[in-house]
Amino acid sequence: MMNTERLTNGLTAMGVPFDQQAVERFAAFHAILDEYNARMDLTAVLDEDERIDRHDLDSVAPLAQGLLAPDARVIDVGTGAGFPGMPLLILRPDLKLTFLDALQKRIAFLNDALARLGLSAQTLHARAEDAARMEAHRERYDAAVSRAVASSAVLEELTLPFVRTGGVAIAWKGPGVQDELTAARRAAFVLGGTVRGVVSAPVPGRDDWQHVLLLTDKTGKTPKAYPRKAGTPNKKPLA
Ligand code: SAM
């Protein structure tokens, strides 16, 4: 059973508004995750309190920072079992969310979870490098979010092509981000972006994690040559 008090105390401490329906959906989402985890390897199995902190509260950091406008179009690149996208959508059903992952079993899980939670969103089974070349997705989003997918320079190439000029790419990072910033700045420059900087994204009671969000503004169009073909961004990071 989910410790709803831990969730609601955490959200309150972060200054993120929620209603009863959101709390119920978090609990239902955890139950669906458990059901799937019992038969397939979907995410690392965590104890309930850690799952709330590591997945739910960590995922909603952009809401504490006021980074997502009402009705914003958001793509979650490499969403896995739905993080950060699902907690963001549960708290902000107004968001127009697209969940993207290269693994079909994760997309199938998300389709089932969305239907059972009564939430609507788009899901996309594709590599980011391929999806960002599709007209329906290229430079169509107000924000691209991504957690635990790649190093910062690689992430710039996997996320910025989805973002419209004036939008933002948001990457979840730890204290190691400082070592990645120079490369991220160079990569962003090539891709029509400008690194705005790093903002602290604390999870209540977990100060030792030192989580941050790396924010990159989309300041111009991404040249047609990017992203490069699937696999190349990882093999040969731009910077
Ligand atoms: N974002 C989730 C989280 O924080 O729990 C999942 C992180 S998991 C370590 C990385 C996910 O990114 C995997 O589900 C993988 O399939 C996906 N992924 C990695 N590279 C990708 C790419 N180029 N395009 C699409 N998905 C990708």
- 8 Å CB contact between 146 and 101: no
Pocket test for ligand 1, best of 105, 124, 149 (most atoms within 8 A of CB): 149
The answer, yes or no, to whether residue 47 has pLDDT greater than 90, is no
230 CA distance to ligand 1 middle (Å): 13
Task: Dump the DSSP string for 25-75.
Answer: HHHHHHHHHHHHHTTS--S----HHHHIIIIIIHHTHHHHTT-S-TT-EEE
pLDDT band, residue 1 (cuts 50/70/90): confident
* 77-106: pLDDT as tens digits: 999 999 999 999 999 999 999 999 999 999
* 176-229: pLDDT as tens digits: 999 999 999 999 999 999 999 999 999 999 989 999 999 999 999 999 999 999
46 C-beta closer than 6 A to ligand 1: no
Predicted local confidence at residue 39, as pLDDT: 87
59 CA distance to ligand 1 middle (Å): 14
Predicted local confidence at residue 168, as pLDDT: 98
Identify the residue whose C-alpha is closest to ligand 1 atom 12. Answer: 78
128 C-beta closer than 6 A to ligand 1: yes
Q: Angle 4-14/20-37 helices, nearest 10 degrees?
A: 120
Closest CA to 30 of 66, 54, 65: 54
The answer, yes or no, to whether residue 46 has pLDDT greater than 90, is no
Closest CA to 110 of 94, 97, 123, 119: 123
69 C-beta closer than 6 A to ligand 1: no
Report the SS3 class of residue 154: helix
Token code pair at residue 99: 């969940």
> Which atom of ligand 1 is closest in space to residue 55's alpha carbon?
5
The whole-model pTM stands at 0.97
Predicted local confidence at residue 140, as pLDDT: 98
Identify the residue whose C-alpha is closest to ligand 1 atom 27. Answer: 78
pLDDT band, residue 23 (cuts 50/70/90): very high
**Rounded to whole angstroms, what are the CA distances from 134 to 24, 99, 128?**
36, 15, 10
149 CA distance to ligand 1 middle (Å): 5
159 C-beta closer than 6 A to ligand 1: no
**φ/ψ of residue 205, rounded to 5:** 80, 0
- 8 Å CB contact between 131 and 147: no
Q: Which segment of 1-5, 20-24, 128-132, 218-222 scores lowest on mean pLDDT?
A: 1-5
Alpha-carbon distance of 138 to 158, in angstroms, equals 11
Residue 15's CB is within 10 A of a number of other CB atoms, namely: 10
* 107-164: pLDDT as tens digits: 999 999 999 999 999 999 999 999 999 999 999 999 999 999 999 999 999 999 999 9
Alpha-carbon distance of 116 to 209, in angstroms, equals 32
The answer, yes or no, to whether residue 43 has pLDDT greater than 90, is no
**What residues pair up with 193 in beta bridges, in sequence order?**
218
Q: What is the average per-residue pLDDT within 46-68?
A: 94
Token code pair at residue 2: 């989910």
